Amino acid sequence: MTSGSDSDDRQGIQDRLDASESRAREHLAELEAIYRTAPVGLCVIDRDFRFLRINERLAEINGPTAEEHIGRPLRDMVPGLAAQAESLLRQAFETGLPVENVEIEGETPAQPGIRRVWRENWIPLRDAETGRVFAVNVVAEEITEEKRAQQRLTESESRARDLAEQREVLLHELNHRVKNSLALVSSMLALQRRRCSGEAEIALADAQRRILAIAAVHESLYDGVLTDGIDLLPFTEKLIGQARLLRPEIGTRFEPQGAVDLPSNKAVSFGLLLNELLTNALKHAFPNGGTGEVRVVLGPQDAHTLILSIEDNGAGLPEDWSLDGPGGLGTRLIKGLADQIDAEIAIHSVPGGGTRFDVVVPRRSRTRASAAAVEKPGH
């Protein structure tokens, strides 16, 4: 006879077994649902390269239905991919190791004539008792659009490099022609000067210096054409070197106060303005063959502006001189060039005590008229 207690124990065990089996079936159903509806292609292939199972996504990629795949060999279902797939299967079966992140490219019956690309992982499945690999689980993610986007990006970058190279060649040729043209104009002015004297000779010399200034600025523009701004220090030094030839007996010093640059659309006018102010100081500050010194100071004033100062210890400006008053070509050029770069010019002058021009230039354009003021003793 069996006691009621033993019967209750057996029933409790059976109930727990039934509950465990029910949970296992639920988990299996969940896994099956995930397998069927996964957004990537999944399948299991046996040692004869036949489909044991396949999810809907991979069947959609291949063309035939999931049911049509079962028991059929790879070559029947995806003949365009079979050679690549069979090579990977052999590797997985022979080594027993996963083959990961490989790319397969080709056509499937689902979209004949269209080459597509997949990133795949091939994972060996082993028998729990013998450890023998009996099948391979395949995970396939289509990356056709990703590869096409990469190809378009590569082609776009290649075209951009080609265009940049062509642009560089054209700029080099343009620079060469401009330099030759400026040199030709300068030579013509020099030849003409030899046949002139007096005011005509002086005017031609001034014109030649302006051409040389343009050439110096142009060379710096070409060197910095692919950058955001033009470094002002190199061509400032070059312009000062050219200006020294006008009055070698006058000491001319350059004192940079830090790195400064301007956009290319302002750099040309800045260079010409510097040239006018410097040559005017050398020509007029020391009359009658006198000697002295001219200092050129250039640096940032703040984050948004730079300041150029040209100072001499010469005779000073006449009491009645004004930048806004009537003047020669040089004065008109100074005013016009300052307006082009939105510069403000302040002039400090003492008769017999020298002159200083302070030019404040915004690094970016602003709609603001330039201002000029002359400080006299007692003002």
pLDDT in tens, 266-280: 888 898 899 889 988
Residues 33 and 116 placed together within one structural domain of the fold: yes
Residues 180 and 135 placed together within one structural domain of the fold: no
Residue 305, classified by CB atoms within 10 Å of its CB into exposed (0-12), middle (13-18) or buried (19+), is middle
Which is more confident, 326 or 192?
Answer: 192
Cα–Cα distance, 194 to 27 (Å, whole number) = 104
| Residue where the block lists tokens 């950058």 | 227
pLDDT of residue 288: 77
Q: What percentage of the chain carries pLDDT values higher than 70?
A: 83
CB atoms within 10 A of CB 6: 10
Strands 230-231, 116-126: pairing is unpaired
Look up the pTM and report it.
0.53
53 within some domain: yes
pLDDT of residue 368: 40
pLDDT of residue 322: 78
Cα–Cα distance, 283 to 77 (Å, whole number) = 92
Residues 200 and 252 placed together within one structural domain of the fold: no
* Residue finishing a domain among 99, 118, 142: 142
**Residue ranges making up the domain that contains 204:** 147-226
61 within some domain: yes
72 within some domain: yes
Amino acid at the residue 167: R
Query: Is the pLDDT assigned to residue 106 strictly greater than 60?
Result: yes
Q: What percentage of the chain carries pLDDT values higher than 90?
A: 42
Cα–Cα distance, 249 to 62 (Å, whole number) = 89
What band does 377 get if pLDDT is binned at 50, 70 and 90? very low
Q: Is 277 helix (H, G, I), strand (E, B) or coil?
A: helix
Quick one: tokens of 15?
A: 């109930």
What band does 86 get if pLDDT is binned at 50, 70 and 90? very high
* Residue finishing a domain among 142, 157, 174: 142
CATH code of the domain covering residue 83:
3.30.450.20
Residues 55 and 107 placed together within one structural domain of the fold: yes
pLDDT of residue 109: 94
Residues 36 and 155 placed together within one structural domain of the fold: no
Task: Of 270-274, 288-292, 366-370, give the range with the top mean pLDDT.
Answer: 270-274
